[in-house]
Amino acid sequence: MSSKITNDLPELVENGIISTEIAQRIEAYYQQHNEPDSNKLFTIFGILGGTLIGLGIILITAHNWDHFSRITKLFFAFLPMLIGQFVLGFSIIKNKSAAWKEAATVFLFFSVGACIALISQIYNIPGSLAGFLLLWTLLCVPLLFVTKSKAAIILHLFFCTYYALETGYRVFGSNETIPQFYFLLLLFPLWRYIQIIRSQQPSAVIHILHWLFPLSITISLPVCIEQSEGVGFLQYLLLFGILYNIGQLPYFTNKSSIKNGYQAFGTIGTTIVLLITSFRFMWKHEFDDVIFNSLEFFTAVVLFMIASGLLYINSKRFTSQNFNLFYFVFLFFGIIFFIGIINDIVATILINVLLFALGVTTIQIGAKKLDFGLLNFGMLIITAMIICRFFDTNIAFELRGLMFVLVGIGFFTTNYFMLKKQKRSELKK
């Protein structure tokens, strides 16, 4: 992008669109802010190389060399870690390039894992995978800070999510470690992530992290569910409320949807939870196990407070332009949840009304903003809702068919009118 702009500068100056002075300033800006592309490429290859060698070492050690003595095996267990520490230390002291530091960080991260794994293998330690992942990730926490490595953030995020998967989805048997340690592990990469956001350095990695963080939390939330699974739905809806509201913070204004994972997770997640809970049997059976004095409920309260705080921050910037029902869904759902514990029919009706309202308002906003994506998303909400209702109502087949045809026609006509409207407004300009 920047190279295209700088390439075009002479032409722009020649045609009198910008002055020579402005052209020089633009050029100076990009020179100052952009690392040469070769450096970036070198860093990426460094990270890839470090990852491959590290993973290779884990596989080689997993082979288990039976004919080596215990001492020899121990020597090879520690060797990669010591090499990694030496190389990283060297690159810090000599202040080597980012590529050096990133590659050494990634290599050391994997070699620490290999070292612990090999020791467990040598002594046949039966410990759980979760305990191993916890120890490994904790021992590598400083890597996030000593080199400011961005690869380390992704690695930490990946492995703490892996830990959550190991502990949070356990149906049978007890955990040797505490599943909620996930949040402790998450805290460190989160800290670095916020640091990078605040430094406002342009970086491609940050856009990836805007997707990876909400993904990790969405996957890992079951670490807060022990016995009262019904509250899980409330937790998830509150979480999606938080994610949506984060996606609307001033930082994300003027950022395209592709760079705003929070908004995507918030809207899609909210819709999915609402669709699931729009069935009456959910309210009839799933929420029988709601216990107020539980970890699940405590988590829900914390999530509600965070969501409310974010909503308050966002509410200061509400205008008729950016107002959206998605901001408030978590509030409504909270109320409906309590109604649902007492009366399942009222809750089911209210969820369906809420879902329908969401669909309609989304279509409205899409039409107003001439945004085809939003318009069709709204249509999709209503279509999904209609499909869901077909499963639990006794509507005759011909009527169902007719409704589908009507929705299909709706899709075509709304898109057609929007296209016409867009063309008209373009002509006016």
Partner 1 sequence: MKKTYIYLLFSIMVIAQIAVAGQIVYKYERTIASNNMYKFKTAPIDPNDPFRGKYIALRYEINSFATTDDDWEYDQKAYVYISKDEDGFAVLETVSKTLLPNTDFDYIEVDNLNYYSGKVHFELPFNRYYMEESKAYDAETLAREAQRGDAPATVYAVVHIENNLHVLIDIVVNGVSIKEAVAK
Applying CB under 8 A, the residues found at the interface with partner 1 are: 58, 61-66, 74, 77-78, 81-82, 85, 88-89, 92, 112-113, 115-126, 129, 132, 135, 139-143, 145-146, 173-174
Radius of gyration for the chain, computed over Cα atoms and rounded to the nearest angstrom? 27
**Shortest Cβ distance from residue 377 to partner 1 (Å)?**
39
Q: Where are the alpha helices (DSSP H) in 169-229?
A: 181-199, 204-220
Q: For the chain, what is the largest distance between any 2 Cα atoms, rounded to a whole number of angstroms?
A: 83
**Whole-angstrom distance between the N-terminal and C-terminal Cα of the chain?**
27
- What contacts 193, CB < 8 A, 6 or more positions away? 153, 206, 209, 213
**Of residues 141 and 387, the one with the C-beta less far from partner 1:** 141
**Of residues 60 and 357, the one with the C-beta less far from partner 1:** 60
**Shortest Cβ distance from residue 185 to partner 1 (Å)?**
16
Cα angle: 426, vertex 427, 429; to 5 degrees: 65
**Of residues 84 and 366, the one with the C-beta less far from partner 1:** 84
**Of residues 119 and 184, the one with the C-beta less far from partner 1:** 119
How many H-runs (helices) and E-runs (strands) does the chain carry? Answer: 18, 0
Q: Are 127 and 116 in contact (CB under 8 A)?
A: no
- Chain CA centroid to CA 145, Å: 22
What is the rounded CA–CA span in Å between residue 339 and residue 257? Answer: 35
**Of residues 83 and 357, the one with the C-beta less far from partner 1:** 83
User: DSSP character for 124?
Assistant: T
Q: Are 336 and 354 in contact (CB under 8 A)?
A: yes
**Shortest Cβ distance from residue 416 to partner 1 (Å)?**
53
**Of residues 112 and 209, the one with the C-beta less far from partner 1:** 112
**Shortest Cβ distance from residue 179 to partner 1 (Å)?**
14
**Shortest Cβ distance from residue 173 to partner 1 (Å)?**
6
**Shortest Cβ distance from residue 198 to partner 1 (Å)?**
14
250 to 8, 200, 317, 374: CA distances (angstroms) = 32, 13, 9, 20
**Shortest Cβ distance from residue 123 to partner 1 (Å)?**
4
What is the rounded CA–CA span in Å between residue 264 and residue 218? Answer: 12
Cα angle: 94, vertex 48, 118; to 5 degrees: 85
**Shortest Cβ distance from residue 341 to partner 1 (Å)?**
29
**Of residues 82 and 402, the one with the C-beta less far from partner 1:** 82
**Of residues 95 and 321, the one with the C-beta less far from partner 1:** 95
**Shortest Cβ distance from residue 188 to partner 1 (Å)?**
12
**Of residues 16 and 173, the one with the C-beta less far from partner 1:** 173
User: DSSP character for 282?
Assistant: I
**Shortest Cβ distance from residue 79 to partner 1 (Å)?**
12
Cα angle: 92, vertex 94, 95; to 5 degrees: 60
What is the rounded CA–CA span in Å between residue 33 and residue 202? Answer: 8
**Of residues 135 and 370, the one with the C-beta less far from partner 1:** 135
- Tokens linked to 149: 């490595």
User: DSSP character for 325?
Assistant: G
**Shortest Cβ distance from residue 205 to partner 1 (Å)?**
19
Supply the angle between the helices 261-276 and 329-342 in degrees, to the nearest 10. 20
Supply the angle between the helices 181-199 and 204-220 in degrees, to the nearest 10. 160
**Of residues 39 and 195, the one with the C-beta less far from partner 1:** 195
- Tokens linked to 252: 């994300």
The Cβ of residue 417 has, within 10 Å, a number of other Cβ atoms equal to: 12
